[in-house]
Amino acid sequence: MPPGGGSRTEDDAPAQAEQQAPPAPDVPGQQPDNGASDASSNEAAALEAVTRERDTYLDHLRRERAEFENYRRRSTRERAEALDRGAETLISQMLGVLDNFGYVLEAAKDHDDAVAKGVRMVHDELRDVLARAGLEDVPGVGAPFDPTWHDAVMQVEGETTADGEPVVAQVLRTGYRFKGRVLRPASVAVTQ
């Protein structure tokens, strides 16, 4: 007899069967229960968080690499500039030696002895070494006058350029450039 003292009816049987029936198996195409959808949404959120973190680290790595490349290029350029400044200073101090060699060669041009030949050889070798380092003469006789490279100390009669600009007629003291920068302008006589 059922609890509550009443007799059992046939209408109560289906209600009891529903209460005792096992849960229905998952059928494809049906919505999963809420527990499974919460787990998959948690996994998706975790995956998205990990992806964002990965992208942040990757972006940071790329920025660091770019900064390092910029630093490397800048330090290489600064080192080259420092070497050039040092070479420029040394070569500037050597200009007096070159001038003195020029005076000796001028005095010895009429002599054909071994000493004069030795002086020419040393002078030529010194000029060659300095040229390989970047030293070059300022353009001389016949070149158009350029106040950047030339220091006009006198004027002489002569032809000018087609534009009427003066031309270097005589070099009184050789001028030098080092890698495009003027170390010493040439002292010249220009045409008028």
Q: Output the 3-class SS for 115-146.
A: HHHHHHHHHHHHHHHHHHHCEEECCCCCCECC
> What pLDDT sits at residue 39?
79
Q: What is the pLDDT of residues 29-80, one digit of tens each?
A: 555 555 567 778 889 999 999 999 999 999 999 999 999 999 999 999 999 9
What distance in Å separates the CA atoms of residue 82 and residue 143, rounded to the nearest whole number?
32
Reduced DSSP (H G I as helix, E B as strand, rest coil) percent helix, strand, coil of the chain, to 5: 55, 15, 30
Domains and CATH numbers, the chain: 135-192 (2.30.22.10)
- In the predicted model, is pLDDT for residue 160 greater than 70? yes
- In the predicted model, is pLDDT for residue 178 greater than 90? yes
Q: What is the pLDDT of residues 114-146, one digit of tens each?
A: 888 888 899 999 999 999 999 999 998 988 999
H/E stretch holding 183 reads strand 181-184
- In the predicted model, is pLDDT for residue 104 greater than 70? yes
CA distance readout (Å), 137 to 28, 64, 171, 182, 184? 91, 45, 11, 10, 10
Q: How do beta strands 135-137 and 176-178 pair?
A: antiparallel
pTM of the predicted structure, to 2 decimals: 0.61
Which residues are 152's β-sheet partners?
188
Q: What is the pLDDT of residues 1-12, one digit of tens each?
A: 455 555 555 555
